[in-house]
Chains A and B, each alone.
Chain A
Amino acid sequence: AQSVTQPDIHITVSEGASLELRCNYSYGATPYLFWYVQSPGQGLQLLLKYFSGDTLVQGIKGFEAEFKRSQSSFNLRKPSVHWSDAAEYFCAVGAPEGNEKLTFGTGTRLTIIP
């Protein structure tokens, strides 16, 4: 069975600083990998996804993520955060040959300080 770990429950960064949110997964092969963002009281918005190919993927809002097979990781990065990036971030994995379900991490809450 697949699983996802987001080790950081809450991260606080200063506006303009760089950001890295960690995501580790457990799966027998290369899964489909996703990062979603959720603002309070809202649904989830897809930031980026990885299926295959180039291991560095670019997403919306200036985010990128790198798939590292050796570390079973798919960390999300942004070089300079904006106050509007404050939200909850979820990493998710899906099985390419499987039942279409996603397994979500527990989420990382990002707080931005001036």
Chain B
Amino acid sequence: GAVVSQHPSWVICKSGTSVKIECRSLDFQATTMFWYRQFPKQSLMLMATSNEGSKATYEQGVEKDKFLINHASLTLSTLTVTSAHPEDSSFYICSARDLNTQYFGPGTRLTVL
């Protein structure tokens, strides 16, 4: 149980385009999901907390207009990187909360050319 999926697993895009990443809880409902960013050989950096049916809460320093989060249902949250630039290239990981425990997706590798 407690499986979280992410799609796509990797994506390459041109600078200036937008990319959408999906995070799904497959066997449980999650009112709260989280989006993280991870740089090579570093720990996870929380970007935002996504709550079903309400606006996401962004961490300090994270541009909410650049990283759009939508949590439209109890099993799906999406992260859209708008007008992506090479510095947005990173590994993005989502998690979904179930009974006080966060379960993580497999991550999405974004490369912006």
Q: Please give the residue numbers on chain A whose beta carbons come within 8 Å of chain B beta carbons, in ascending order.
A: 32, 34, 36, 41-46, 49, 51, 90, 94, 96, 99-102, 104-107, 109
A-B contact pairs, 10 of them (CB 8 A): A32-B100, A36-B104, A41-B109, A42-B106, A43-B106, A44-B104, A51-B100, A90-B44, A100-B49, A107-B42
Tell me whether A104 and B43 are in contact (CB under 8 A). yes
Chain B residues near A96 (CB-CB < 8 A):
100
Quote the shortest CB–CB distance from B34 to chain A (angstroms): 8
Q: Please give the residue numbers on chain B whose beta carbons come within 8 Å of chain A beta carbons, in ascending order.
A: 2, 4, 6, 32, 34, 41-44, 46, 49, 91, 93, 95, 97, 100-107, 109
Tell me whether B100 and A42 are in contact (CB under 8 A). no
Q: How far is the CA of A36 from the CA of B105 in the complex (A)?
A: 12
Q: How far is the CA of A32 from the CA of B42 in the complex (A)?
A: 22
Tell me whether A105 and B43 are in contact (CB under 8 A). yes
Q: How far is the CA of A100 from the CA of B95 in the complex (A)?
A: 12
Chain A residues near B6 (CB-CB < 8 A):
43
Chain B residues near A41 (CB-CB < 8 A):
91, 107, 109
Chain B residues near A42 (CB-CB < 8 A):
106-107
Name the residue among A101, A106, A109 with the largest chain B CB count within 10 angstroms.
A101
Chain A residues near B104 (CB-CB < 8 A):
36, 43-46
Quote the shortest CB–CB distance from A9 to chain B (angstroms): 9
CB nearest to B57 among chain A residues: A99
